Structure 1
Amino acid sequence: MEVDVERVGEELYSRIYNQHKDNAGKLTGMLLELPSAVLVQLLQDEAMLTAAVDKAYKALQESTDEPSKNRLTTAEDVSTSSDSLGEQLFELVDLYNTGYSQKITGMLLEQKKYVVLNLLSDPKLLEKQVNQALETLKRESEADLNDSLDVDDPHDFGERLFSLVQQINQDHANELTGMLLEMDRAALHQLLCDHTLLEAAVKKALSALGTNSIEKVT
């Protein structure tokens, strides 16, 4: 993620100067050592910026005893005040309506905090990682299904399909399942692996079922 360091530095300096006139330059320089994504987050989150400046100022005060404390090198140094990191990420992931928001959020949170912060400030990177996680989950789901499903047993297919269709439309589960079972085996397998596709197929079958019912009545 490209960040105009000079512009960010000027913005940070102007905000820090009000509280720490004598040390504004040093504190700004310390914060500019942080990853670009964190710098962007600091400018957007006043509470996080305050926490980062306080931490940097404390490190500066103790620098005579332990100079290494002058450096803030990781996102953990400034993000500990944000307990809602997971909640923020979940809200963004949920916008993609994958049906796996909780699982994908958990997968993304397993990364280092600076990476997670980068995801919060970089929509393109977030979308890329959400899609990657979704593909992983789908492959795992399909593998589990292959392990548990006898592809040569139509009855096994029928039972599994009926249980899923019943969750979507309980009133017409029998008729809808019967209609879907007329599809070829590969298409059925795809429906069992992808809940979104199954919902679309059920909706289409339900529409056809309603048309057929009307024709019978007339």
Structure 2
Amino acid sequence: MDKAEDLETLGEELYSLIHPKHKENAGKLTGMLLELPAPVLRQMVQDKATLSEGVEKALRALQLAQEPSKIPCKDDDDLSVSSDSLGEQLFELVDVYNTGHSQKITGMLLEQHKQAILNLLSDPKLLEEQVNFSLKTLKEQNMEGTGISDADDAERLGEKIFSLVEELDPLHANYITGMLLEMDPAALHQLLRDHTMLEVAVQKAQAALDSPNQTLST
């Protein structure tokens, strides 16, 4: 079964589950849920609790999209529509996509002009495009920020740490580098940026090496 057939089958199953309780909006709700990853959809078909949660999110998003009048439009207040108010409504819509980054994506979208944000609230298609673009940007930033998106990058990070450690303790550079590489990637990148922190980490590793309880294989 190819992806299109699989998605169509999942759509039919979801529709049959949603229709009894939401006859009027069953089609729209199903369509919104079908934007989610296939594994999530399969879980919804098998687990009523997961389906119910997804439907509730989609329903809230649908109601917000259909009721732009909820957004205040008075002359004086219009310029200062609460960022919290817009943020909450936008978050509800973004959260439907189950990206795992709803808060970050909402924050990115809120950096736009208010009129652009209002357009997102009333145009589901435009919102979907913006969410997908923001998600792609986040993933790219994450790969650049951590520098260890795969084994090759992890190896390069190890080499950078080793070259710095070697300047501080050539004799034990291998051992110390191995100990430091057990740290979180974010902490390792901080060591690369802050030489003082690196020196402290190396000194701690040296102390561990000098400990009589520390055994090292050669």
Q: Which has the larger radius of gyration?
A: 1
Specify which structure has the bigger relative contact order, considering alpha-carbon pairs within 8 angstroms and separated by 6 or more residues: 1
Give yes or no for TM over 0.5.
no
The two structures have a TM-score, normalised by structure 1, of: 0.36
